[in-house]
Amino acid sequence: MINFLTKPIYLFFLIFLLSFLIRIPFLGTESINPDAVNWHYRCQQFANGLKYFQFDKTYPHYHPGVTLCYLMTIPTELYKQYTNQVYDKDTFINFNILNSYSVTIFNCIVIALLAVLIKGKNGVIFSILLNIEPFFYGNSRIIHLDTIVTLLLFLGIMLLIKFFNERKDYLIYLSALSFSI
């Protein structure tokens, strides 16, 4: 029998699936961040800045949310190309659901990566506690930076600790990447 706690790939998929399944109900419709409209606009500006090489438009004013812009811009642009919909008051909910899914999937991937880094039973306990903490759970389902920044910083710290223990160069690069995005 396969022991899910000792094989990293199985542990990753188990934690990702559990983290994602508990976040699916009413995702993008149950609660909407009051700042979501601003993030949709910022991401449209971000996409236009990238498309037309006007990089000054890629800076989200009043907030350092480039990571969130990338998470939202790619699915939004693909969705707009596929459906020929434009973002307005009538299509807001469609874009909000889509972007809530992209943020949630990213958060679940990082939670699963952290569980794999922590390893075994402790990784499972860590992910369960993180997944049932109400404030974190709620924020991980909406378009917001709180959980993204928290998870990426924690991932960077874990990779840095692993680098100090194992002295493998790729770990310091992954840590730096996690801290920088």
Q: Do residues 57 and 42 make contact, with C-beta atoms less than 8 angstroms apart?
A: no
Which range (52-61, 76-85, 111-120) has the least confidence?
52-61
* pLDDT for 140 beyond 80: yes
**Given this model, what pLDDT does residue 1 score?**
38
**Which tokens in the block code for residue 84?**
């020929």
User: Can you give the residue ranges of every domain in the chain?
Assistant: 8-141
Tabulate helix, strand, coil % of the chain (nearest 5). Answer: 70, 0, 30
Q: Please check the confidence at residue 60 and state whether its pLDDT lies above 80.
A: no
Mean pLDDT over each residue of the chain, to the nearest integer: 88
pTM of the entire predicted model: 0.88
Tokens of 67: 């990571």
